[in-house]
Structure 1
Amino acid sequence: MLHKKRKLLKNQEGLTLIELLAVIVILGIIAAIAIPAIGNVIKNSRFNAIKSDAIQVISAAKLYVSENGVKSQLSYNDLKSYIDDQDSKLNTSHKANPQFSVSVSTNNSDGKTVYKFTGYGADGDVKIRFNNADLKTINAAKRSNIKPGDDGVYTIGK
């Protein structure tokens, strides 16, 4: 019995250096493919977080108008009680006094109220400038379809 175990142990072989090197090369190739893809996912999620905050501001403007009546221009001070801005990505450089607004107008053709957001948002290295962007434009915006400007800022709206 002991003789068989010794013979079994002698026949076992470890990995050769070439096999180990092949595994390391394969892992390196996988990492080279996966890391940029993960970086893209992170940037897209930051882009969508900023868009979400802009949509929240438009929703707050709708609540304000339903409670207080139509006002042509709504500022942060008008909307601050309607906005949950604890983790807001809008105007991160102006936390004490965010500089954004929502213009409110009535569409003459169908009588609907139109809300257009103007402001700036940043999350990490992703920055978005909103220029009179309505809800439809903000929802349709995708980072892959918009090229950032020379200053690295994406622009949504006209």
Structure 2
Amino acid sequence: MIERLKEIWLDAKQMRDERGLTLIELLVVVVILGIIAAIAVVAIGGLIENSRKDAVVSDAKQLVAAAKLYTSSNPVQPGETVKVGVNSNNTAISANTVSKGTEATPRTDSLKKYIDDMKDALNSDADYKDSYVVITESNGTYTYAVTLTSKSADYTYFAAAAPSALKRSAVKEKE
């Protein structure tokens, strides 16, 4: 019995020596968690920004693909320039009566039947001010030049850019 009381006494004494986290240890844990959270927020913010830029590039590539579909059903005459797209200077592009387009007055047509509505991912999903492709025929080869301009920030993401220049690094936001 005395042995049992000694064991209980030693256990009770040991329990008094075992304490929980001190205030400083708890503070260190909170600071470490705060640093990890700050790093995560910055990393996620960059991913979101890159995905928005990728959406703008995707829209530009979609315009080129639609223009290629257009030229497969509506061949461009030798030496002709054609402007096809959705908007030009906030106005919907429609077919004009020019029989053979030149650089000064290109033949125009809408890509609405080849492409869905596009929204500017970098500017609250507003419509683009300009979203068109200029197609030029030269010696049996078509050249495509994409123009994509933001409506809300009035900024040109791509101005007469070749399809090979449509990259995320080329998309610059207005500062």
CA distance in 1 between counterparts of 2:156 and 2:54 reads: 10
After superposition, give the CA deviation of every residue in 1:94-148 in whole Å (9 maximum; x if it has no partner). 47xx53221001355xx4311111121479x9x6521001210003x416xx665
Residue number in structure 1 paired with 2:30? 24
Unaligned stretches of 5+ residues in structure 1? 153-158
Whichever residue aligns with residue 33 of structure 1, its letter is I
Whichever residue aligns with residue 32 of structure 1, its letter is A
Q: Does residue 113 of structure 2 align to residue 84 of structure 1?
A: no
State the secondary structure of the residue aligned to 1:72: strand
Deviation of 1:10 (Å):
5.0
Residue number in structure 2 paired with 1:72? 82
Residue number in structure 1 paired with 2:146? 117
- Aligned residue pairs: how many? 140
Higher helix fraction (1 or 2):
1
CA distance in 1 between counterparts of 2:56 and 2:137 reads: 26
Whichever residue aligns with residue 157 of structure 2, its letter is R
CA distance in 2 between counterparts of 1:103 and 1:147 reads: 22
Q: Does residue 133 of structure 2 align to residue 102 of structure 1?
A: yes
State the secondary structure of the residue aligned to 2:130: coil
CA distance in 2 between counterparts of 1:52 and 1:94 reads: 15
CA distance in 1 between counterparts of 2:136 and 2:113 reads: 22
**Identity of counterpart residues, as a percentage?**
39
CA distance in 2 between counterparts of 1:128 and 1:44 reads: 17
Aligned-CA RMSD value: 3.4
Deviation of 1:55 (Å):
0.7
State the secondary structure of the residue aligned to 2:111: helix
Instruction: Give the alignment's TM-score, normalised by structure 1.
Output: 0.69
Deviation of 1:75 (Å):
2.9
Whichever residue aligns with residue 162 of structure 2, its letter is D
Higher strand fraction (1 or 2):
2
CA distance in 2 between counterparts of 1:28 and 1:122 reads: 39
| Distance change in 2, residues 1:52/1:147 (3 Å) | closer
Instruction: Give the alignment's TM-score, normalised by structure 2.
Output: 0.63
Residue number in structure 2 paired with 1:156? none
After superposition, give the CA deviation of every residue in 1:11-57 in whole Å (9 maximum; x if it has no partner). 64211111101111112222333322221111111111111011111
After superposition, give the CA deviation of every residue in 1:65-88 in whole Å (9 maximum; x if it has no partner). 101222611132410111122x63
CA distance in 2 between counterparts of 1:94 and 1:30 reads: 38
